[in-house]
Structure 1
């Protein structure tokens, strides 16, 4: 550790940068389950927005419970 501090940081060479590019992590493709879940969530949010817009135009009046 002491040796690293005294030498300082050295720049990387072009060859080292090219080698590092080869070992970058690649994002995995989403599974079928993940795709279906994402589509379901998007559809759920769309339907919720439509329902809220509909209810804001015609508010639902709460029903009264009969007095006993």
Structure 2
């Protein structure tokens, strides 16, 4: 970051949290429904990314990002 750029304090940690929640939920779903955690984690990552983008898009920005 250069000296002219100001840190607004905004972070994307919420996006990472949704991915982590999706992985956990997908692992449980995969174990219960498919008897295979790996299949569920694949669905969970996709679900986490979708939810993370959906909730993160609602945040207001100042247009300078």
The two structures have a TM-score, normalised by structure 1, of: 0.37
- Greater relative CO (CA pairs within 8 A, separation 6+): 2
Task: Indicate the structure (1 or 2) with the bigger Cα radius of gyration.
Answer: 1
Greater fraction helix: 2
